């Protein structure tokens, strides 16, 4: 078997989870693959999946030093291995370098590099925990053992924080605390979407990092709002407009949301945010057969509403979130003009099998107990 066929066979063995066989074959063609980055990359993949992280890191570093081939995935693996070891700055640098190569040579895979960077950036606030690197590896490598090579953890947290500080261009700057309050019944899984976008944009623009988040609930445990806290490294006044642009251009924020900036112990500033009304569509599906629920599911209804709103060219009908209660399944949408959005959604749900007993509620300004809202709700009986 010639080298090209052998290295392709290694790829197939890795895909089939036959990692030990892949390693044996790689060792047999080591001399031929001495200057081929794919040999080092595929060897590192097999080693990672057999929990030999230190060896995988050493192998891939050696390969990156010997080969100048434009193979971005080597950067991706090396970045995750650095992240696992607690070398966060090295991880960021190598994956960002790989992202730029990917844009040039394999643009269809850019999303994967960006997603990895998001995971790494969002992991930074927890760098003082013993295993700051679990989030990426647990998701991507099913055989990951948190105890494997356990000595490779962040050994000098303060030094790593200093390295990060320099990397983010804020070495001599103090942090300023900010809190983003997002109005609306937002379950944690939908809050995570806001965290991911915001955390990535903050890190990418070297502005700061997330430090925490939470969901506010009423006495019955239903969400009423959420908040996300983060630290800004740069001068807030200098970068305020840039940061507000990030919020405006990347997040759909309901009316009633706001940003709170805390300057030390003495001064606070509150900036009102959000331009969207919240329309909640509450469907009672208890008397509807499973066959109908499957055939006319919520996903199809969301698509139907969004298509109609796009056809009417309104700034609205944006899917916000869903929630299940004992009485109803709730779908929520955002729009600049509530009345216009409500009119279109009413038309969209008329005679829709899933919406035989549906209520529509304006949740923009008042979050109350469900039974109190239903008294004033607009009820549809098709």
110 and 159 assigned to the same domain: yes
Query: Where residue 159 sits, what CATH number does that domain have?
Result: 1.25.40.10
Q: What is the pTM of this model?
A: 0.66
Sign of CA dihedral 107, 113, 118, 124: negative
161 and 51 assigned to the same domain: yes
> What gap in Å lies between CA 342 and CA 314, rounded to an integer?
11
154 and 205 assigned to the same domain: no
Which DSSP state fits 367? -
82 and 138 assigned to the same domain: yes
Is the pLDDT at 111 greater than 50, yes or no? yes
Domain boundary among 146, 165, 184: 165
Dihedrals phi, psi of 380, to nearest 5 degrees: -115, 130
Query: Is there a contact between 272 and 320 (Cβ–Cβ < 8 Å)?
Result: no
Domain boundary among 165, 193, 216: 165
Total structural domains within the chain:
3
Higher-confidence position of 87 and 214: 214
Nearest to 200 by CA among 187, 209, 191, 211: 209
238 and 210 assigned to the same domain: yes
Confidence label for 138 from pLDDT (cuts 50, 70 and 90): very low
Q: Which of 56-65, 147-156, 247-256 bottoms out in mean pLDDT, i.e. has the lowest?
A: 147-156
- What range defines the domain where residue 176 resides? 169-273
191 and 222 assigned to the same domain: yes
Query: Where residue 332 sits, what CATH number does that domain have?
Result: 3.30.70
Question: Average pLDDT of 60-81?
Answer: 87
11 and 158 assigned to the same domain: yes
pLDDT digits (tens, 9 = 90+) for 354-376: 888 899 999 987 643 333 443 44
Nearest to 94 by CA among 125, 195, 85, 246: 85
111 and 177 assigned to the same domain: no
133 and 76 assigned to the same domain: yes
14 and 160 assigned to the same domain: yes
pLDDT digits (tens, 9 = 90+) for 286-339: 888 888 888 888 889 999 999 999 999 999 999 999 898 888 999 999 999 999
158 and 191 assigned to the same domain: no
For position 293, what pLDDT does the model report? Answer: 83
Query: Where residue 213 sits, what CATH number does that domain have?
Result: 3.30.70.260
Domain boundary among 273, 289, 323: 273
316 and 233 assigned to the same domain: no
């Amino acid at each position: 078997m010639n080298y090209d066929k052998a290295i392709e066979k290694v790829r197939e063995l890795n895909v089939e989870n036959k990692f030990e066989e892949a390693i044996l074959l790689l060792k047999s063609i080591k001399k031929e693959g001495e200057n081929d980055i794919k040999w080092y990359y595929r060897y590192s993949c097999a080693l990672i999946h057999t929990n030999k992280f230190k060896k995988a890191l050493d192998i891939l570093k050696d390969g990156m030093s010997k080969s100048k081939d434009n193979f971005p995935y080597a950067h991706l693996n090396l970045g995750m291995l650095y992240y696992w070891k607690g070398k966060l700055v090295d991880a960021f640098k190598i994956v960002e370098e790989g992202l730029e190569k990917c844009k040039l040579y394999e643009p269809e895979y850019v999303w994967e590099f960006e997603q990895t960077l998001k995971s790494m950036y969002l992991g930074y606030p927890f760098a003082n925990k013993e295993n700051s690197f679990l989030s990426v590896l647990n998701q991507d490598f099913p055989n990951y053992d948190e105890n494997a090579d356990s000595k490779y953890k962040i050994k000098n947290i303060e030094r790593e924080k200093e390295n990060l500080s320099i990397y983010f261009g804020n070495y001599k700057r103090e942090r300023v605390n900010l809190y983003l309050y997002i109005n609306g019944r937002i379950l944690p899984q939908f809050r995570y979407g806001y965290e991911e976008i915001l955390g990535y944009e903050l890190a990418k623009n070297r502005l700061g990092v997330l430090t925490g988040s939470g969901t506010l609930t009423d006495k019955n445990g239903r969400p009423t709002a959420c908040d996300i806290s983060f630290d800004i490294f740069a001068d807030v006044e200098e970068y305020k407009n840039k940061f507000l642009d990030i919020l405006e251009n990347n997040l759909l924020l309901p009316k009633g949301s706001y940003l709170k900036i805390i300057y030390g112990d003495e001064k606070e500033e509150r900036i009102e945010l959000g331009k969207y009304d919240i329309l909640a569509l509450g469907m009672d599906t208890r008397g509807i057969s499973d066959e109908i629920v499957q055939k006319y599911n919520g996903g199809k209804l969301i698509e139907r509403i969004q298509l109609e709103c796009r056809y009417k060219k309104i700034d609205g009908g944006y899917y916000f979130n869903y929630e299940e209660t004992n009485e109803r399944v709730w779908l929520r949408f955002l729009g600049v003009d509530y009345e216009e959005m409500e009119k279109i959604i009413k038309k969209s749900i008329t005679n829709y099998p899933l919406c035989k007993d549906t209520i529509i509620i304006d949740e923009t300004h008042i979050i109350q107990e469900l039974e109190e809202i239903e008294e004033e709700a607009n009820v549809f009986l098709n």
